């Protein structure tokens, strides 16, 4: 595909074939869609091929699009060099018309290229390459009533070619070098563009390389003996037992069954500190065993691993469109027919000018007006507008992914860059979420084993306080309960075999009045067994992060279900003036809804207990590890849970949006200036073709700067 209208042509074809959920990405050369079972994919592939494109089925979610980009770039390179070989001799006809005195016997060898038949024979292979490269696509885009950039290229080169052929018989200047140069320069531009595009998708390529090709699977032979076999990662199925040794990369997600090891997860989470894991811990595809040996059970195949999901999420995000792209899309959709109209106007206007006002001969007037019209066609560049947004998005979101930040799409990035308010949860967001027991007070003298009771109930909750309680009150004893349920924002409820009801949670579970309120209560059948006081430390960078956002004119807000005094203490230390405390999940939703109505609002939480509030905010940001619930509940996921990456995500969002605006400005500015200059005949078509090719490279080069900003 050579421009955004190519993608529209394919989309239009797929719509006619009743495909659903169609997404065609011009940058990566990928299309995704759903087909009814009655429709054959071979029919779709044949149809796309008939439009002048080469379609093939993608075999795995893990494999990137770089193979197809590489193949297309290789094909372009071959065609460009063939065209260049035949075009360079044609340039000699231009050189010897320049006002320089060329001497030497070598000059005589070039006179053969001045022969009109020699020029025709040199131009024909180049024109044939152009017809293959641009003609077929142009013709089918016209049939689909969505003319693309190839229409301009093939029309311009054909006009110069046909004019020259006619001039061979009626007499006059030949412009075979113009026809050949247009095609060769556009091929060069396309080659540079595809090479640059490959760099913009570098993040996806690096993520895809994390997937090891070989897995070590334990199998049982005919004698019942276990042995290790090496097999392709794509052959691994759920519940297969795999072996990992020091230096191995994990092929698929799974759970450790035997052994311990230290893992480098930096490539997935961005966390540089190695993680030690043992029995029962999860391992993720693409991570590396730094030290140790173990066996683990696969929990799925490569296509549903966390690595695969992250790759798909990043690719999907890169393909999504922000609102600002609508401007470029609207102009691109009408650009080609408008340019053809301007070119025709140039032809008529310049012919009249040269015939009547400049008093040129009719033949000369025709020649000059045709060259002006061709220059308008080849200098116009709809591609720059089509590339302006997606290239910046791909680089920006790709760089974020390399830093352990998943940004779900262009709209997310655009809105996050323009937030007016940022709402922080307290526990696990501004504080480290690792609570310690400061005090425990017993209210009943009975034989209840408090450690065992608390551990066996709290271990079923994912809340950070529950996890801390389970850690502090760890017990090897097992208690049996008929039911255990979690009441969001309140606590845990359990009923044992004797129908005794136990509750562990905040003051909402307490019926009787208590003189000294506690953070957590343990209640049996309405009677308080114990009160627990806990402490939670502020994260080291919490104050700095909050103050940084304030310096950018963004209002910080604290929203928590915790006690008033604790919330106010944290808010005062961080410099947060607006505080909401002791709020239940439904109350949090109402507050977020009100703040969002006043302007773009980001909500920062753990992605688990704050999922409803995250989804209600303009932008939900999850400080969480790479879990399914975190990935699906927020618009932005900070994989290693560090608060300072929130600033990185915001800066990348703003810089990417700024780059998109710069690209769009250049695309508009270039066309607004270049087309009028070509219209009045001040540019040769060859110069126009070179300028058009370079305009794309300027846009892509500007986007690539995001990799280093």
pLDDT averaged per 10 residues in sequence order, the chain, 709 residues = 71 82 74 80 82 70 52 80 89 52 50 78 92 83 78 84 84 78 81 66 67 87 83 88 90 91 72 76 88 90 80 66 67 80 92 79 83 87 75 85 83 91 89 80 78 91 82 87 85 91 87 75 89 84 94 94 84 93 83 92 76 83 64 76 89 93 88 90 82 82 85
Tell me, yes or no, whether 458 and 527 share the same domain: yes
User: How many angstroms separate the CA atoms of 519 and 532, rounded?
Assistant: 6
The pLDDT, as a whole number, for residue 206 is 67
Residue 650 within any structural domain of the chain: no
The pLDDT, as a whole number, for residue 64 is 47
Mark which of 580, 606, 639 sits at the end of a domain: 639
Residue 37 within any structural domain of the chain: no
Residues 6+ apart with CB under 8 A from 550: 556, 575
Mark which of 301, 335, 361 sits at the end of a domain: 301
Tell me, yes or no, whether 183 and 229 share the same domain: no
User: How many angstroms separate the CA atoms of 320 and 314, rounded?
Assistant: 10
pLDDT digits (tens, 9 = 90+) for 523-535: 998 888 988 988 7
pLDDT digits (tens, 9 = 90+) for 335-367: 888 888 999 999 999 998 888 776 667 778 888
Q: Active-site residue 425, yes or no? A: yes
Tell me, yes or no, whether 194 and 327 share the same domain: yes
- Look up the pTM and report it: 0.67
The pLDDT, as a whole number, for residue 634 is 79
Tell me, yes or no, whether 474 and 604 share the same domain: no
527-535/520-524 β-pairing: antiparallel
Q: How many domains does the chain have?
A: 4
Residue 196 within any structural domain of the chain: yes
Tell me, yes or no, whether 426 and 567 share the same domain: yes
Residue 25 within any structural domain of the chain: no
Residue 437, strand partner residues: 534
Residue 50 within any structural domain of the chain: no
DSSP code at position 250: P
The pLDDT, as a whole number, for residue 128 is 93
Sign of the alpha-carbon torsion through 329, 333, 339, 345: negative
Mark which of 535, 553, 580 sits at the end of a domain: 535
Set 240, 248, 425, 536: catalytic member: 425
Residue 77 within any structural domain of the chain: yes
**Domain of residue 476, CATH code:** 3.40.1110.10
The pLDDT, as a whole number, for residue 17 is 81
Tell me, yes or no, whether 424 and 447 share the same domain: no
Tell me, yes or no, whether 519 and 449 share the same domain: yes
From 99, 101, 315, 111, select the one nearest 204 (Cα to Cα): 315
* Six-digit token string for 466: 């529950």
**Domain of residue 554, CATH code:** 3.40.50.1000
User: How many angstroms separate the CA atoms of 250 and 243, rounded?
Assistant: 9
Tell me, yes or no, whether 424 and 441 share the same domain: no
**Domain of residue 250, CATH code:** 2.70.150.10
The pLDDT, as a whole number, for residue 360 is 67
Residue 339 within any structural domain of the chain: yes
From 42, 158, 17, select the one nearest 685 (Cα to Cα): 158
Tell me, yes or no, whether 443 and 517 share the same domain: yes
The domain containing residue 375 runs over which residues?
66-203+318-392+658-707
Residue 703 within any structural domain of the chain: yes
Tell me, yes or no, whether 173 and 263 share the same domain: no
Tell me, yes or no, whether 222 and 272 share the same domain: yes
Tell me, yes or no, whether 183 and 99 share the same domain: yes
User: How many angstroms separate the CA atoms of 508 and 639, rounded?
Assistant: 33
């Amino acid at each position: 595909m050579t421009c955004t209208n190519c993608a529209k042509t394919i989309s239009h074809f797929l719509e006619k074939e009743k495909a659903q959920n169609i997404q065609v990405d011009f940058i990566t050369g990928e299309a995704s869609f759903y087909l009814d079972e009655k429709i054959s994919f071979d029919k779709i592939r044949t149809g796309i091929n008939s439009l002048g494109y080469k379609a093939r089925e993608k075999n795995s979610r893990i494999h990137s699009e770089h193979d197809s980009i590489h193949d297309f770039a290789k094909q372009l390179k071959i065609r460009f060099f063939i065209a260049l070989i035949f075009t360079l001799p044609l340039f000699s006809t231009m050189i010897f018309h320049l006002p320089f005195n060329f001497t030497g016997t070598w000059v005589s060898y070039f006179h053969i290229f001045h022969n009109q038949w020699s020029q025709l024979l040199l131009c024909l292979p180049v024109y044939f390459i152009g017809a293959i490269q641009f003609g077929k696509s142009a013709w089918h885009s016209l049939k689909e009533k969505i003319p693309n950039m190839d229409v301009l290229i093939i029309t311009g080169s054909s006009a110069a070619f046909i004019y020259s052929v006619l001039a061979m018989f009626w007499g006059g200047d030949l412009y075979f070098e113009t026809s050949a140069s247009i095609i060769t320069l556009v091929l060069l531009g396309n080659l540079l563009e595809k090479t640059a595009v490959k760099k913009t998708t570098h993040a996806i390529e690096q993520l895809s390389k994390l997937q090891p090709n070989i897995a070590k699977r334990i199998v049982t032979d005919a004698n019942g003996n276990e042995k290790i076999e090496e097999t392709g990662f794509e052959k691994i199925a759920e519940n297969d037992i795999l072996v990992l040794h020091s230096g191995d990369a994990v092929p698929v997600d799974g759970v450790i069954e035997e052994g311990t090891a230290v893992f480098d997860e930096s490539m997935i989470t961005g966390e540089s500190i190695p993680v030690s894991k043992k029995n029962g811990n999860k391992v993720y595809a693409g991570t590396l065993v730094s030290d140790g040996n173990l066996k683990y059970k696969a929990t799925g195949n490569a296509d549903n691993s966390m690595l695969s999901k992250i790759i798909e999420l990043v690719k999907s995000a890169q393909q999504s469109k922000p609102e600002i792209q609508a401007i470029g899309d609207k102009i691109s959709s009408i650009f080609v027919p408008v340019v053809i109209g301007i070119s025709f106007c140039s032809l008529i206007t310049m012919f009249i000018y040269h015939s009547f006002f400049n008093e040129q001969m009719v033949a000369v007037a025709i020649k000059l007006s045709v060259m002006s019209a061709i220059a308008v066609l080849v200098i116009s560049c709809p591609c720059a507008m089509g590339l302006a947004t997606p290239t910046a998005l791909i680089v920006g979101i790709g760089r974020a992914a390399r830093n352990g930040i998943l940004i779900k799409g262009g709209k997310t990035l655009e809105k996050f860059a323009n937030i007016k308010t940022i709402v922080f949860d307290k526990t696990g967001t501004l504080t480290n979420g690792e609570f310690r027991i400061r005090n425990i007070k017993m209210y009943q003298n009975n034989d209840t084993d408090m450690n065992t009771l608390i551990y066996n109930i709290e271990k079923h909750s994912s809340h950070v306080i529950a996890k801390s309680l389970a850690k502090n009150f760890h017990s090897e004893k097992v208690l049996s309960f008929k039911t255990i349920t979690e009441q969001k924002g309140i606590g845990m409820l359990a009923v044992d075999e004797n129908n005794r009801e136990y509750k562990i949670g905040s003051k909402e579970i307490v019926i009787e009045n208590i003189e000294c309120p506690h953070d957590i209560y343990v209640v049996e059948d309405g009677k308080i067994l114990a009160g627990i006081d806990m402490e939670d430390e502020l994260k080291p960078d919490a104050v700095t992060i909050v103050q940084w956002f304030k310096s950018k004119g963004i209002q910080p807000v604290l929203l928590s279900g915790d006690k008033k005094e604790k919330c106010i203490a944290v808010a005062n230390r961080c410099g947060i003036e607006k505080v909401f405390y002791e709020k239940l999940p439904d109350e949090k939703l109402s507050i977020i809804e009100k703040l969002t109505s006043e302007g773009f609002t980001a909500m920062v939480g753990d992605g688990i207990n704050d999922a409803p509030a995250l989804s209600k905010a303009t932008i939900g940001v999850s400080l969480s590890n790479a879990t399914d619930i975190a990935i699906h509940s927020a618009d932005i996921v900070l994989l290693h849970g560090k608060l300072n990456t929130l600033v990185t995500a915001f800066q990348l969002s703003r810089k990417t949006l700024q780059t998109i605006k710069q690209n769009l400005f250049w695309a508009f500015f270039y066309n607004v200036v270049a087309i009028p200059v070509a219209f009045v005949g001040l540019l040769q078509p060859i110069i126009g073709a070179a300028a058009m090719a370079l305009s794309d490279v300027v846009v892509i080069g500007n986007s690539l700067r995001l990799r280093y900003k």
